RNA sequence: CGGGGCGUGGCGCAGCCCGGUAGCGCGCCUGCUUUGGGAGCAGGAGGUCGCCGGUUCGAAUCCGGCCGCCCCGACCA
């Protein structure tokens, strides 16, 4: 039946579409463990490319990778008051090991501030040991009530950067710098342009002095917190005795930051670029940027076509393009076209007997070049010479499309609560209003609209005229962006 | 945790109301023919009907309990 092959259209149910497409694109599957997912090879390869891109940026900004234990003594988590309050409900605890009950239970890390800063305390003596700039790639566990593949699972993969600095200014700068790295990465690799800014008090990380985030607007106009960066002040260094001797010989507490992005970005990619035919993987994170589909009738043609496909692949690989040949014999070409569209490969190159004869390839882009140009016929030399540029151009088109969608769904200068609610109920995305900074107002608006303050936007995203009225009445002290969020 | 829905070959479903020992599509296997947008024909494999108990000569179907999953709301990267 045709219906077996179709995905639930986005217009029918965006969340059903998401669940469908994540599984049918073979990104991930549900696991026997409640709330946990299995990331399948295609999805994992995308994550690996994200990791590579980010890891490069971390290294460029002076960070090194390390690894800390999965299990954290319960007493560590409990040391920072705000921190434990924030995480208590979602901790998974190991109480038994080696066949007996442990004297002190361990928690499966929900995040690693405590164990990492306890080690930093051991390693840092002098201002000369600072800054200490480490990152770790790992899994974490937060017991979630309601889970969704990639967007919220009990176990997820992420990176967490943890830094220690001699001065407050330097740590604050680091937190801002890494927020910028996330933004840059999401634009340059995922073609997902977020809005960056400061979190409100109620939305900040448990244990932080200040939290920043990048918020991306999905196709259903809900916001996705796609990365966070925290200025931790001296909260953890005080609890873990992370001190150093300053140049002047005084003992001082170090200043910390932490920052992380997770496999949630894969979900963000899906909901930013996907369409009713499947996901769209932006070129720089596509495990196969070009999929060659060979076409043949006879055995002789098969040999000839596959030979040409191999040669073309080798040439593309030499040009730095990630290529895959789909030589499966039990599927006809049409079936392969649909499959790779579902899985979001940026380009498909068809090579059949006619193309071999003419020395050409037929190139199709996952999102067509234009409505009138669904396929491009290129000589092999041309294809080879232009593909790297075509990949870049596709990235730019995706980024521009996503940015245009974000802007089209951003509503500025809203000062009336009724209007805010109206916009949100009509499916509006990011709504910019004034705010006094009063948490009671924030809570009241949240109750009334089911939206939250996503960020106090950075200057670049702020409205050209600063709002004077607070959404809850009275004078505004700042501008905030509201949205319903994942 | 509240509301809704669903558990039947790998996937999607029908059968349940009205009990009689399981069927359809897709997928899978074998063979032949095919292959430029989801191939055709022929043959074949595959199911303790979520679990436990009850009613009955007999339960996928009726009754009770339990478990699990999905969706919508309260908390969260």
Please check whether residue A247 is in contact with residue A435, taking contact to mean a CB–CB distance below 8 angstroms. Answer: no
- The 10s digit of each residue's pLDDT in A94-108 is 888 888 899 999 999
Extract the tokens encoding A2: 């045709």
* Residues A462 and A431 sit within 8 Å (Cβ to Cβ): no
CATH number of A2-273: 3.30.930.10
pLDDT of residue A3: 55
Residues A29-67: tens digit of each pLDDT: 888 777 888 899 999 999 999 999 999 999 999 999 999
Ramachandran angles phi, psi of A162, nearest 5°: -135, 120
Residue A452 CA distance to nucleotide B67 C1' (Å): 36
In 3D, which of A11, A463, A482 has the Cα closest to residue A219?
Answer: A11
Q: CATH class for domain A411-483? A: alpha beta
Q: Residue A260: which nucleotide is closest by CA–C1'?
A: B77
> Containing H/E element for A259?
strand A255-262
Q: Residue A1 above 50 pLDDT?
A: no
Strand B bases, protein C-beta under 7 A:
1, 11-12, 25-26, 28-29, 34-39, 68-77
Spell out which residues of A between 242 and 281 contact strand B, using CB within 7 Å.
260, 262-264, 277
Q: Would you list the domain boundaries of chain A?
A: 2-273, 288-392, 411-483
Arithmetic mean of pLDDT over chain A: 94
Query: Under DSSP, is residue A50 helix (H, G, I), strand (E, B) or coil?
Result: helix
Which of chain A's residues 382-441 bind strand B, using a 7 Å CB cutoff?
none
According to DSSP, the residues that pair with A258 across neighbouring strands are A162, A230
What is the pLDDT confidence band of residue A145, given thresholds at 50, 70 and 90?
Answer: confident
Dihedral of CA A46/A51/A54/A60: which sign?
negative
Question: Are A366 and A341 within 8 A, CB to CB?
Answer: yes
In the structure, how far is the CA atom of residue A298 from the C1' atom of nucleotide B31, in angstroms?
A: 18
Q: How confident is the model at residue A321 (pLDDT cuts 50, 70, 90)?
A: very high
**Of A233, A215, A284, which is closest to residue A82 (Cα–Cα)?**
A233
pLDDT value at A80 more than 80 = yes
Residue A303 has pLDDT above 50, yes or no: yes
CATH superfamily ID and name for A288-392 = Anticodon-binding domain (3.40.50.800)
At residue A32, the pLDDT reads: 75
ipTM of this complex prediction, to 2 decimal places? 0.87
Residue A471 CB-density burial (10 A; 0-12 exposed, 13-18 middle, 19+ buried):
buried
| Digit-coded pLDDT (tens) for A330-373 | 999 999 999 999 999 999 999 999 999 999 999 999 999 999 99
Higher pLDDT, A147 or A258: A258
Taking 60 as the threshold, does the pLDDT of residue A2 lie above it? no
**pLDDT tens, position by position, A217-248:** 999 999 999 999 999 999 999 999 999 999 99
Q: pLDDT-derived band of residue A73, with 50, 70 and 90 as boundaries?
A: very high
A81 pLDDT exceeds 90?
Answer: no
């Amino acid at each position: 039946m045709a219906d077996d092959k179709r995905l639930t259209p986005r217009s029918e149910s965006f969340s059903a579409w998401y669940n469908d497409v994540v599984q049918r694109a073979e990104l991930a599957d549900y696991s026997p463990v409640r709330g946990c997912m299995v990331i399948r090879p295609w999805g994992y390869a995308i994550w690996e490319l994200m990791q590579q891109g980010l890891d490069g940026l971390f290294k460029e900004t002076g960070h090194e990778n390390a690894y800390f234990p999965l299990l954290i003594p319960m007493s560590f988590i409990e040391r920072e008051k705000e921190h434990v309050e924030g995480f208590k409900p979602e901790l998974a605890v190991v109480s038994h090991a080696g066949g007996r009950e442990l004297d002190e239970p361990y928690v499966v890390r929900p995040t690693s501030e405590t164990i990492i800063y306890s080690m930093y305390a051991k390693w840092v003596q002098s201002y000369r040991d600072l800054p200490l700039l480490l990152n770790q790639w790992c899994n974490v566990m937060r017991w979630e009530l309601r889970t969704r593949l990639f967007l919220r699972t009990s176990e997820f993969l992420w990176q967490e950067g943890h830094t220690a600095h001699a001065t407050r200014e330097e740590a604050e700068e680091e937190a801002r710098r890494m927020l910028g790295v996330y933004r840059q990465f999401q634009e340059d690799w995922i073609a997902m342009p977020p809005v960056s800014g400061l979190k409100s008090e109620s939305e900040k990380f448990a244990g932080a002095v200040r939290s920043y985030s990048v918020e991306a607007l999905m196709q259903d106009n809900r916001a996705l917190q796609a990365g966070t960066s925290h200025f931790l002040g001296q909260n953890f260094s005080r609890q873990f005795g992370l001190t150093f001797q300053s140049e002047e010989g005084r003992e001082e507490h170090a200043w910390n930051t932490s920052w992380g992005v997770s496999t949630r970005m894969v979900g963000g990619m899906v909901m930013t670029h996907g369409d009713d035919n499947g996901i769209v993987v932006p070129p720089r994170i596509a495990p196969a940027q070009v999929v060659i589909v060979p076409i043949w009738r006879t055995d002789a043609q098969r040999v000839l076509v596959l030979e040409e496909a191999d040669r073309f692949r080798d040439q593309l690989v030499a040009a730095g393009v990630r290529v895959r040949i789909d030589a499966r014999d039990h599927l006809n070409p049409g079936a392969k076209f649909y499959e790779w569209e579902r899985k979001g490969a940026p380009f498909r190159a068809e090579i059949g007997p006619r193309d071999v004869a003419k020395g050409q390839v037929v190139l199709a882009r996952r999102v067509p070049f234009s409505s009138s140009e669904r396929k491009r016929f290129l000589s092999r030399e041309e294809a080879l010479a232009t593909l790297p540029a075509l990949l870049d151009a596709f990235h730019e088109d995706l980024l521009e499309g996503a940015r245009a969608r974000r802007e089209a769904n951003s509503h500025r200068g809203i000062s009336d609560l009724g209007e805010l609610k109206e916009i949100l109920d009509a499916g509006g995305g990011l709504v910019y209003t004034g705010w006094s900074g009063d948490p009671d107002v924030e809570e009241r608006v949240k109750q009334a609209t089911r939206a939250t303050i996503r960020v106090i936007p950075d200057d670049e995203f702020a409205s050209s005229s600063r709002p004077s009225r607070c959404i809850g009445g009275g004078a505004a002290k700042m501008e905030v962006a509201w949205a319903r969020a994942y």
